[in-house]
Amino acid sequence: MTKVTMVVNGKSVSAETEGRTLLSGYLREGLGLTGTHVGCDTSQCGACVVHVNGKAVKSCTIFAQDVAGAEVRTIEGMANADGSLGVVQQAFQDHHGLQCGFCTPGMVMSSAALLAENPKPTEAEVRHYLEGNICRCTGYHNIVKAVLAASGQDIAAIPAE
Amino acid sequence: MPKDHGIGASVKRREDIRFLTGQGRYTADIDLHKQTYAYFARSEMAHAKINKIDTKAAAAMPGVIAIMTGEDFVGMGGNPAGWYIPSRDGAAMKEPKRPVLAHGKVRHVGDAYAIVVAETLEQAKDAAAAIEVDFTELPAIVNMAEAVANSANRVHDEIDNNVCFDWGWIEDNRAAVDAAFAKAPHVTTLELVNNRLVPNAMEPRASIGDYDAGTGDYKLYTTSQNPHLTRLLISAFVMGIPENKLTVIAPDVGGGFGSKIYHYGEEAAVLAASKAIRRPVKWVAERSESFLTDAHGRDHVTRIQLALEKDGTFLALRTETMANVGAYLSNFSTATPTFLHGTLMAGPYKTPLVYVNVKAVFTNTAPVDAYRGAGRPEATYSIERIVDLAADELGIDKVEIRRKNLLTPDMFPYTSPVGLVYDVGNYQATLDKLIELGDLAGFEKRAAASKAKGKLRGLGLSTWIEACGIAPSHLVGQLGARVGLYDAATVRVNATGTISVMTGAHSHGQGHETVFAQIVAERLGIAESAVEIVHGDTSKIPFGMGSYGSRSLAVAGSAMVNAVDKIIAKGKKIAAHMLEAAEGDIEFADGKFSVAGTDKAKTFGEVAFSAYVPHNYPLETLEPGLDETSFYDPANFTYPAGAYACEVEVDPATGHVEIASFTCADDFGNVMNPMIVAGQVHGGVGQGIGQAMLENTTYDANGQLLSASYMDYAMPRAEDVPFYTVDHSCNTPCTHNPLGVKGCGEAGAIGSPPAVVNAVVDALQRGGYKHVTHIDMPVSPSRVWSAING
Ligand code: FES
Ligand code: FES
């Protein structure tokens, strides 16, 4: 076991880890940040997406030790300083972009990363970017709509109901 | 201005806040003091005799606390099937014991034969790998036709031909149906496969067993859609734990779609292990375990025939289906292909004569049970495919053949030839709405535009009904159900006037916390924020049958409304005393009890306070307190219905299909929260498109699951689906529940698959590939290409 230190949601944290501990396990078991979910064992579902040094990463695909010292942001760190929902989070609530909530942390983190790279994505770009995130509940309609809304684009043309 | 609160308003979901901030509490997120970790040793063979399981070396490995095998559970009962289905010759249903852990034989890949408990998960895994097994591999029974034909090869040694039952519905009508076929001017015949699916809720199953040696109480945290049923099954059938000593908690649950209705062996195993070691035992499935062991869905092979007049009038319909139940009977597995499928084979049509035969077949595959729609998608797919095929054979327009045969509004209540009584509907209205919303008139123009790009455009329709909220209990009891199908709610008014509602429904994505609060708040004339919805904990809730089959609002919601009405009735008595008026003169509206015709009134809060601080209170005739429970047993099913249209573009060179548009016109009765209803339809259609275009569960001849991960099982992703157009304005309220609601959770998954396949076949027909009359799901590029070139 070694102590691995990194900056998570703006705070320096550390936890004892084995060499084989994944970043997802470090966050969930080591730090108790259970907002990051694990939905598969083949790096396919995206429920575990977090930001590492600003980039969207599937936290089940990297070892915690390999990102020692990095800046990590998780779903727990996405709200505004006053505790209100951040822009992407708020858009997901406003447009019913979640149902059971299990894929949601990964969806929000991926969407936020997309908008950081591409502030005004097209519908096709949103769908393409989210291809690594599976949602079984929403049929994606309201997720795509929420991301377009979060980008500040006019969504009036999208079927409302 | 649309309403911003109460019934009919698109109130934003309160539960979203915790999910969007990482504060949801799913079973895997729960850690208990002194917790241990379980890992299950699972069979790699589909079918084998267990000669010996040697755990000695494994038990000596670091961190291992206990190992239990099937041997340790032989004294316990089996996990039962919830519905008894006799064969048409009167023979009893075959019900082999489904043990907690495999004993004697393993019967499918993934069948668990041991639970290993250790200090860490990795230690448990390592030890599981060190268990020495001596198995004799037996030939795997995978294909249903072979299973039935070969009596020497048996999944369960005592069951000849691997047939669970051979059911006829309605057997007495069979001769009349056959006679109608014998003299019909036209008969259309179709053989089709309803592809096997893995439900794939994104949260894998998980369970934590926690035995308290001091009190003898057991607690089970588990990913369940109906914790009370799980408790009942564990108590009364499997482990014999008295119900009062077992609490089942299903906290936040990440989707279910049917797969989390059932009780699974892992739940009993972690409880037994916790008792044995006096520490909590936690198990979380890996996705590969979900693929191998969650109850799968569908898997029917069907031959369907429709007899018609030359003008397209339906005369009779008959089907023969083989339904795979897998290696063991899961809890609803016998009801799904029978009473949720056979009884729906009249669809929304006037077909006067219908006969259904279903053989349920054991195979060396994972158990198969209800998956979103459960039997009704299979019925709808068969009907809507053969309607299209018949229309093509007779040269009749696809809208017209439907319109001609749909039940008309004056025919309700309508007793179908397969035994259901549809209370109300207007199928023409949803069809007309679909034609308008989907701009069916503009199809030819769009087809021409597609053609100019080298693509074939097709239009597929589906007009469907379903039956939700199975009921009433005494009737389903006569039909073989072994449980009641009511639901319950307690409405507790707290002394300060806030409300706690304990509901038997379970929310795992449906938004009950928001919608149920909207309803209660509107009925009581108080703020939604004053209403709390409590679910998922058997120690807090009176009883419940959980959420599945689109039943939550129609059944549990009705119980809740009735409990609220009891509160109002008692409140009137209290208010009459406080206002010194006759009870009959008290009116309740907008949160106030008032004396009719006067301005004398007490607020709901004042009455609630008086109930708990009864200083000015009719104690001689009325107990204090304001807390009411209602059990509601519906008088009938509800019958949602709708009309769907799918447009596809097919690339004839590659067989690639793209969904150009998908339009839904639904009748769900009264709608409580349109935003959530639309979301349910989106999700259902997304899954239906998945079934129609992408998903397939494949076992090889040795019973190995080839599609056991997201690398091999194609889940629909954001790029595979379009924006959907959905409408639910054509509503005919349910006639027999207090809210007039019908249920919307499964509609999309029921109505959409045939619309997709009909569209693909239509595209090929229009494109001149007249030999293509059917393509089995999933309509993958290779299947479409082969059909074109076949
Ligand atoms: S858990 Fe990381 S991709 Fe599925
Ligand atoms: S909201 Fe349930 S998986 Fe996406």
Residue of A nearest to B748 (CA): A139
Secondary structure letter of residue B497 according to DSSP = S
Distance separating alpha carbons of residues B264 and B294, to the nearest angstrom? 9
Distance separating alpha carbons of residues B22 and B6, to the nearest angstrom? 28
CATH numbers and ranges of domains, chain B? 31-138+202-255+260-293 (3.90.1170.50), 300-471+636-788 (3.30.365.10), 486-632 (3.30.365.10)
B 127-146 residues with CB below 8 A of A?
none
Element spanning B59, H or E: helix B56-59
What is the ipTM, given to two decimal places? 0.98
Q: Look up residue B166 and give its two tokens.
A: 């051979």
For residues B83 and B335, the answer to whether their CB atoms sit within 8 Å is yes
pLDDT in tens, B104-133: 999 999 999 999 999 999 999 999 999 999
Atom from ligand 1 closest to the CA of residue A37: 1
Q: In angstroms, how far is CA B614 from the centroid of its own chain? A: 46
Distance separating alpha carbons of residues B672 and B739, to the nearest angstrom? 9
User: What class does CATH assign to A2-77?
Assistant: alpha beta
**Nearest Cα residue to B186 out of B81, B354, B316:** B316
Block residue for tokens 């699916």? B197
* CA B201 to ligand 2 center in whole angstroms: 8
> At B750, which amino acid appears?
I
Of residues B12, B711, B718, nearest to A144 (C-beta): B718
CB atoms within 10 A of CB B126: 18
| pLDDT greater at residue B484 or residue A68 | A68
pLDDT in tens, B332-365: 999 999 999 999 999 999 999 999 999 999 999 9
pLDDT at B493: 97
pLDDT at B147: 96
pLDDT at B101: 98
Contacts of the segment B134-137: beta carbons below 8 A, 24+ positions apart:
B134/B50, B134/B51, B134/B52, B134/B53, B134/B54, B135/B43, B135/B45, B135/B48, B135/B49, B135/B50, B135/B51, B135/B106, B136/B48, B136/B49, B136/B51, B137/B45, B137/B47, B137/B48
Confidence of residue A161 (pLDDT cuts 50, 70, 90): low
Mean pLDDT of chain A, nearest integer: 96
Q: Is A58 in the pocket of ligand 1 (CB under 6 A)?
A: yes
**Nearest Cα residue to A98 out of A141, A147, A143, A39:** A143
State residue B295 phi and psi, 5-degree precision.
Answer: -60, 130
Q: Is A134 in the pocket of ligand 2 (CB under 6 A)?
A: no
Using most ligand atoms within 8 A of CB, pick from A44, A89, A96, A136 the residue to mutate for ligand 2: A136
Q: Which residues of chain B have pLDDT under 70?
A: 1
Q: Look up residue B592 and give its two tokens.
A: 């106030």
Residue whose CA lies nearest to ligand 2 atom number 4: A135
Residue of B nearest to A100 (CA): B509
Distance separating alpha carbons of residues B558 and B545, to the nearest angstrom? 13
Q: Helix or strand or coil: residue B36?
A: strand
* CA B230 to ligand 2 center in whole angstroms: 24
Please check the confidence at residue A97 and state whether its pLDDT lies above 90: yes
Distance separating alpha carbons of residues B445 and B460, to the nearest angstrom? 16
Q: Which residues pair with B644 in a beta bridge?
A: B462, B664
Q: What is the 3-state secondary structure (H, E, C) of B274-316?
A: HHHHCCCEEEECCHHHHHHHCCEECCEEEEEEEEECCCCCEEE
Using most ligand atoms within 8 A of CB, pick from B202, B510, B721 the residue to mutate for ligand 2: B202
Distance separating alpha carbons of residues B417 and B401, to the nearest angstrom? 20
For residues B485 and B545, the answer to whether their CB atoms sit within 8 Å is yes
Residue of B nearest to A108 (CA): B20
pLDDT at B58: 98
Contacts of B20 in chain A (CB under 8 A): 75, 78, 85, 89, 92-93, 98, 101, 104, 108
Element spanning A48, H or E: none
Enumerate the domain spans of chain A. Answer: 2-77, 87-150
Q: Look up residue A126 and give its two tokens.
A: 């949103």
* CA B259 to ligand 2 center in whole angstroms: 15
Q: Helix or strand or coil: residue A101?
A: coil
Q: Is B342 in the pocket of ligand 2 (CB under 6 A)?
A: no
Q: Look up residue B607 and give its two tokens.
A: 């009455």
**A87-150 has which CATH code?**
1.10.150.120
